[in-house]
């Protein structure tokens, strides 16, 4: 199988269909486009859980993992509370590297008011570079739980910040020397700084306060993958204006240099939101200092349309994240 997220057909056939629902206290379980599980723990409260590995980069993986998982929890409407960390290290790892991973993770947790609750750490020959997997725990009132299937036709689609921040920051860090031979140093340094914008918890909190609907953080597979997952989970269509999708010039130039599609690349830091009043939500987000844009509308039926000026085409099923095209060399070296 190819590196990256499983194709939707394989996910459904070999993962989701192998699971069953047997407990009434499970409010949300595994499904396409559903990033969190929810478990009832009282009359009106639930615990929300999400799990994410960091596999696309080997730098700043401590904070990276915390932000990605916290974004998942926040997208469900929950308050992120804590994480369990599983850290697998190759034999050549120095203790200082482990300490740095933990310091980065703790710093990110402190920023979000979360705690590291526990986990597991070991050295193993099963990996050739540090690997971190984060299980996040959040809490929520049951009546505020957002499920992926609750998207409704007619709702507007809002994107916060800019797509591609995550992958742009990874490329700028991992290929810094190469990029600085082709671009001004200032552009590369700015792109590296996108790593500080990967948390979308505030985006989700503002949206929740404004009564927005379902949210979905944009991760592996990029904006196109997230749009497909969101529509697929709810069984709806969509009409998207490509030119309205916000993207930084640094992302455009770096993706163009590597021959990558910026709409199919890791985009943690951006939140996809279904809203009855998208423009009203955009105004509230901008008041909170969060750039946002309305990029289209969910529709009845199953047509998922992307418009680019006069051009009109249908959205394809999620593809392997574009970042892996560049990182393949490191992966092959690792495997050898």
Among 93, 119, 144, where does a domain finish?
A: 144
Residues 152, 286 within the same domain: yes
Model-level pTM? Answer: 0.88
Percent of the chain scored above 90 by pLDDT? 76
CATH code for position 321? 3.90.650.10
Q: Using one digit for the tens of pLDDT, what is the confidence trace for 276-332? A: 999 999 999 999 999 999 999 999 988 999 999 999 999 998 888 999 888 765 555
CB neighbours of residue 113 within 10 Å = 12
Given a cut of 90, whether residue 198 has pLDDT beyond it is yes
Is residue 13 one of the residues assigned to a domain?
no
Is residue 2 one of the residues assigned to a domain?
no
Is residue 105 one of the residues assigned to a domain?
yes
Is residue 64 one of the residues assigned to a domain?
yes
Q: Using one digit for the tens of pLDDT, what is the confidence trace for 21-61? A: 989 999 888 888 788 899 999 889 999 999 988 876 767 88
Among 112, 144, 176, where does a domain finish?
A: 144
Residues 50, 132 within the same domain: yes
Residues 58, 197 within the same domain: no
Among 144, 171, 200, where does a domain finish?
A: 144
Annotate 40-79 with DSSP letters as a single string: E-SSSEEEEEEEEEE-S-SSSHHHHHHHHHHHHHHHTT-E
Record the tokens describing residue 110, joined without a space: 């402190």
Is residue 252 one of the residues assigned to a domain?
yes
Per-residue pLDDT at 6: 82
Residues 170, 244 within the same domain: yes
Q: What's the domain range around 74?
A: 19-144
CATH code for position 58? 3.30.1330.10
Q: Using one digit for the tens of pLDDT, what is the confidence trace for 220-275? A: 999 999 999 999 999 999 999 999 999 999 999 999 999 999 999 999 999 999 99
> What is the edge-to-edge ordering of all strands in the sheet holding 156-160?
215-217, 271-275, 156-160, 292-299, 237-241, 304-308, 311-314
Q: How confident is the model at residue 105 (pLDDT cuts 50, 70, 90)?
A: very high
Is residue 301 one of the residues assigned to a domain?
yes
Residues 239, 305 within the same domain: yes
Is residue 291 one of the residues assigned to a domain?
yes
Mean pLDDT of 170-186: 95
Residues 190, 279 within the same domain: yes
Q: 227 near 273, Cβ under 8 Å?
A: no
Total domains in the chain come to: 2
Residues 34, 85 within the same domain: yes
Is residue 86 one of the residues assigned to a domain?
yes
Q: How confident is the model at residue 207 (pLDDT cuts 50, 70, 90)?
A: very high
């Amino acid at each position: 199988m190819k590196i990256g997220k499983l194709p939707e057909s394989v996910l459904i056939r070999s993962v989701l269909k192998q699971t069953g629902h047997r407990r009434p206290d499970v409010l949300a379980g595994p499904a396409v486009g559903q990033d969190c599980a929810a478990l009832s723990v009282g009359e009106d409260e639930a615990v929300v859980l999400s799990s994410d590995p960091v596999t696309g980069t080997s730098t700043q993986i401590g904070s990276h993992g915390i932000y990605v998982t916290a974004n998942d929890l926040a997208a469900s409407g929950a308050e992120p509370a804590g994480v369990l960390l599983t850290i697998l290290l190759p034999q050549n790892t120095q203790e200082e590297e482990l300490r740095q991973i933990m310091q980065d993770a703790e710093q990110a947790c402190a920023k979000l008011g979360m705690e590291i609750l526990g986990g597991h750490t070991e050295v193993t020959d099963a990996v050739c570079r540090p690997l971190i997997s984060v299980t996040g725990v959040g809490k929520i009132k049951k009546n505020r739980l957002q499920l992926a299937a609750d998207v409704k036709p007619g709702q507007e689609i809002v994107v916060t910040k800019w797509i591609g921040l995550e992958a742009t920051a990874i490329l700028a860090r991992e290929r810094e020397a190469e990029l600085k031979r082709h671009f001004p140093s200032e552009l590369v340094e700015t792109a590296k700084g996108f790593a500080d914008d990967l948390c979308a918890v505030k985006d989700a909190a503002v949206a929740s306060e404004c009564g927005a609907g379902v949210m979905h953080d944009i991760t592996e597979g990029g904006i196109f993958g997230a749009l497909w997952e969101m529509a697929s989970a709810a069984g709806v269509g969509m009409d998207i204006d490509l030119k309205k999708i916000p993207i930084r010039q640094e992302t455009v130039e770096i993706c163009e240099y590597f021959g990558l599609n910026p709409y199919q690349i890791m985009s943690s830091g951006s939140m996809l939101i279904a809203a009855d009043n998208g423009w009203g939500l955009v105004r509230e987000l901008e008041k909170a200092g969060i750039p946002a844009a309305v990029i289209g509308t969910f529709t009845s039926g199953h047509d998922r349309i992307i418009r680019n000026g006069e051009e009109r085409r249908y959205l394809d099923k999620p593809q392997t994240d574009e970042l892996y095209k560049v990182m393949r060399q490191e992966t092959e070296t690792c495997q050898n």
